[in-house]
Amino acid sequence: MSGPDKPKVIGEEWSDDRVRSYLNLTPWDASVNPDYFVLDRAYEAMRAEDFERFVGFFVEAGRDLNAENPQGHTILDRISRHRRSLDYARALEASGAVTTAEAGQ
């Protein structure tokens, strides 16, 4: 966490334990799917390489890559809208994630 006393660190190496710790996050709003929540938080916080490792741990833990947010969108739907998130999308797709449009086919 950065702030006045602690400068933001870019490119910091994350240990497997730190990456896995995101599996323990819980949403503060009961209407948010816990699997979507942790994927979203990991996407926002991690570099692509760390996110790819996280997706492996996530799948290994039996979590749902295609969990939806309250609006009915998967994390891949969200990430696919961002031009610079191709590596994140590829990590998800390689593990079986789909968009809601693909799931409906």
Q: What is the pLDDT of residue 44?
A: 94
The model's pLDDT over 45-90, given as tens digits with 9 standing for 90+, comes to 999 999 999 999 999 999 999 999 999 999 999 999 998 999 999 9
What is the percent of the chain with per-residue pLDDT over 90, rounded to a whole number?
Answer: 78
Structure tokens at 65: 């890559």
Check residue 100 and give its pLDDT. 87
Q: Residue 4: pLDDT band by 50, 70, 90 thresholds? A: low
User: Helices marked H in the chain — which ranges?
Assistant: 16-20, 34-45, 48-60, 75-80, 86-94, 100-103
Domain boundaries, the chain: 16-103
Give the whole-angstrom CA distance, residue 6 versus residue 104.
46
